[in-house]
């Protein structure tokens, strides 16, 4: 059977020889989720705070609407997941592709829940971090956002973060370059 995408014939579907065991697929899935944290760190530190700052800068400023230019990264980073899932399920690339695509999608869901919902409260909730781990990663991300500029930022990971005390020391060592000025309670009330 031949698969089609937008009317273009793709490689014919065929049984994948050397199918992976469910345990192997689970390991590929978990390894992909773990590897995505390293990928996210690299992309955040050297792309988003580098040549991709033109999109990411919107994320370091107060949001004025529901969306910000930085949200395009979510779409960009979803494309490999979609391609791998499609390849694994429809185009006969093998179950490994499905497991990798699902791992990328799972990391994206974790990122959405932690970053956009818990930290940035893009969906109203009453969750208060209580575990040491959640307090640590939320505080580390907030320290990352204390800097408004492309340079001088600390903590680029999302699920793994240095101790907040170490991040505060690093900000102090950098003479607080780029750190936003504190907002008074009167300004917050406006």
Whether the pLDDT of residue 176 is over 80: the answer is no
Domain extent listing, the chain: 22-181
* Contact call for residues 100 and 32 (beta carbons, < 8 A): yes
Report the DSSP beta bridge partners of residue 179.
147
Ranking 74-78, 157-161, 174-178 by mean pLDDT, the lowest is 174-178
Instruction: Name the pTM for this structure.
Output: 0.80
Report the DSSP beta bridge partners of residue 5.
8
Whether the pLDDT of residue 178 is over 60: the answer is no
Q: Exposure string (b/e) for 23-48, b if CB count within 10 Å is 16 or more?
A: eebeebbeebbeebbeebbebbeeeb
The CA distance from 133 to 140, in Å, is 11
Quick one: which of 18, 19, 1 has its CA closest to 10? Answer: 1
The CA distance from 25 to 138, in Å, is 31
Q: What is the pLDDT of residues 69-120, one digit of tens each?
A: 999 999 999 999 999 999 999 999 999 999 999 999 999 999 999 999 998 8
Alpha-carbon 68 to chain mean position: 15
Specify the residue for token string 């001088």. Answer: 152
3-class SS at 107?
Answer: helix
Quick one: which of 50, 183, 110 has its CA closest to 102? Answer: 110
pLDDT value of position 155? 87
Confidence of residue 186 (pLDDT cuts 50, 70, 90): very low
pLDDT value of position 171? 84
Structure tokens at 144: 């990352």
What is the percent of the chain where pLDDT is above 70? Answer: 82
**Residue of 175 and 169 predicted with greater confidence:** 169
pLDDT value of position 145? 86
103 burial (CB, 10 Å; 0-12 / 13-18 / 19+) is: buried
pLDDT value of position 189? 43
Q: What is the pLDDT of residues 42-65, one digit of tens each?
A: 999 999 999 999 999 999 888 888
Per-chain mean pLDDT for the chain = 85
């Amino acid at each position: 059977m031949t698969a089609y995408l937008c009317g273009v014939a793709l490689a014919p579907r065929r049984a994948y020889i050397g199918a992976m065991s469910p345990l192997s697929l689970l390991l590929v899935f978990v390894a992909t989720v773990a590897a995505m944290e390293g990928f996210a760190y690299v992309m955040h530190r050297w792309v988003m705070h580098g040549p991709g700052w033109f999109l990411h800068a919107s994320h370091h400023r107060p949001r004025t609407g529901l969306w910000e230019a930085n949200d395009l990264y979510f779409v960009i980073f979803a494309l490999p997941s979609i391609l791998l899932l499609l390849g694994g399920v429809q185009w006969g690339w093998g179950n490994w592709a499905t497991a990798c695509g699902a791992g990328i999608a799972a990391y994206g869901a974790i990122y959405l829940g932690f970053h956009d919902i818990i930290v940035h409260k893009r969906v109203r909730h009453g969750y208060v971090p209580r575990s040491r781990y959640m307090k640590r990663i939320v505080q580390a991300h907030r320290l990352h956002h204390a800097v408004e500029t492309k340079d001088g930022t600390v903590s680029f990971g999302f699920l793994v973060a240095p101790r907040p005390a170490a991040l505060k020391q690093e900000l102090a060592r950098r003479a607080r370059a780029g750190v936003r000025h504190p907002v008074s309670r009167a300004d917050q009330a406006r």
